[in-house]
Copies of this chain bind each other. A is one copy, B any other.
Amino acid sequence: MKIALTLAFTSLSLMASSLSTQATEAGLKPIPASKSALMKLINDPRNNITDAKTELGKKLYFDPRLSKSGIISCNTCHNLSEGGDDGVPAAIGHKWAMNPHHLNSPTVYNAVFFDAQFWDGRAKDLEEQAQGPIQAHPEMAATQEHVADTVNSMPEYVAEFKKAYGKDVKIDFVKVTDTIGLFERTLVTPSAYDDYLNGNEKALNAKQKEGLKTFLDKGCVSCHTGISLGQSMNAFNVTATYKYQDVGDFKGDANGMVKVPTLRNITQTAPYFHNGQVWSLKAAIVEMGRIQLGAEITDAEATSIEEFLKALDGRKPALTLPILPASSATTPKPDMN
């Protein structure tokens, strides 16, 4: 009896160990457990992360006065209290306009791990990405001047920029969006899955391990790979047979390529797909198998994969709610039109 138990444990342990190796060999990578390794990974090569910069970036991220109306902030569509997104099919912005391509807001959590941003990958990093929605008319609808004038109008902001970048800092649109991007780099959520790949065999339960195996076996990992469990750009087959392909006009980039979204925190970022038309995670798994892999994923397999995906729910950074500087007499007034 004692021998049998020992054998059983050994066999389980071997299986688990080989699964972890199998996952790594298939291209999956954990968020590093060591803080210094993580910082090296998320740092902006042009602009070192410091607390002064990220605290300032957090304020700017939450400040609705950067928008034309004064009531839409980065956090409106990339809500850090939710899954880092807005939970609606397509982003709603200035004057209640919907994203013109009916595109779903991607999560900002772990977006740092991509080397292309936006669904068509047109921005190379978070700093460049941050310039887009602030200016887009159906989103925050602001001019570069509005953003710079707003920030420069508040002495507290000016003092914080000086503290973060030195007294000669020029606070322009790019400096503001760079600072927002720097804050976004810190929005990383390590999960049980990472603990497992980092060596803690017990971090995943039996169902989650089985789900990871199914995930690998069915080939999901061929697109959802690396540290993001996504991929910068990959062939976009969705248009071929996707039931909701006519919702919006998005067809990928010029080469028909699309950014493969991260699966981290995927249980919190419904609705799914580029146009946010599928609400059920299990249905999304089955659809992706059919469309991208040409594979039939059974209900049992989808359930199993979903169990694994739950292990990607991450530990979000504990953020204190920022307290924003008061507007001054020269702060640009909100414009609802």
Q: Hey, which bits of chain A sit against chain B, CB under 8 A? A: 59, 62-65, 69-71, 76, 79-83, 86-89, 92, 95-96, 98, 267-268, 270, 279-280, 313, 316, 318-324, 326-327, 329, 333-334, 336
Inter-subunit contact B336/A268 (CB<8 Å): no
Inter-subunit contact A279/B326 (CB<8 Å): no
Min C-beta distance of A81 to chain B, whole Å: 5
Min C-beta distance of A42 to chain B, whole Å: 20
| Count of identical protomers in the assembly | 2
Once bound together, how far apart are the Cα atoms of A92 and B69, in whole Å? 10
Beyond A270-B327, A313-B326, 9 extra complex contacts between A and B, CB < 8 Å: A64-B86, A64-B87, A71-B87, A81-B322, A81-B323, A96-B336, A268-B327, A279-B333, A321-B321
Consensus secondary structure, chain A interface:
loop
Inter-subunit contact B76/A88 (CB<8 Å): no
Neighbouring B residues of A89 by C-beta, 8 Å = 334
Inter-subunit contact B96/A324 (CB<8 Å): no
Known: A69-B92, A95-B96. A82 touches B336 (CB 8 A): no
- Which of B71, B267, B280 makes the CB contact (< 8 A) with A76? B71
Neighbouring B residues of A81 by C-beta, 8 Å = 59, 62-63, 321-324
Inter-subunit contact B98/A336 (CB<8 Å): yes
Neighbouring B residues of A95 by C-beta, 8 Å = 96
Neighbouring B residues of A319 by C-beta, 8 Å = 320-321
Closest B residue to A59 using CB positions: B81
Give me 18 A-to-B residue pairs in the complex whose CB atoms sit less than 8 angstroms apart, sorted by A's number: A62-B81, A64-B79, A64-B86, A71-B86, A71-B87, A71-B88, A80-B321, A81-B321, A89-B334, A92-B336, A95-B96, A98-B336, A267-B326, A268-B326, A270-B327, A319-B320, A319-B321, A321-B321
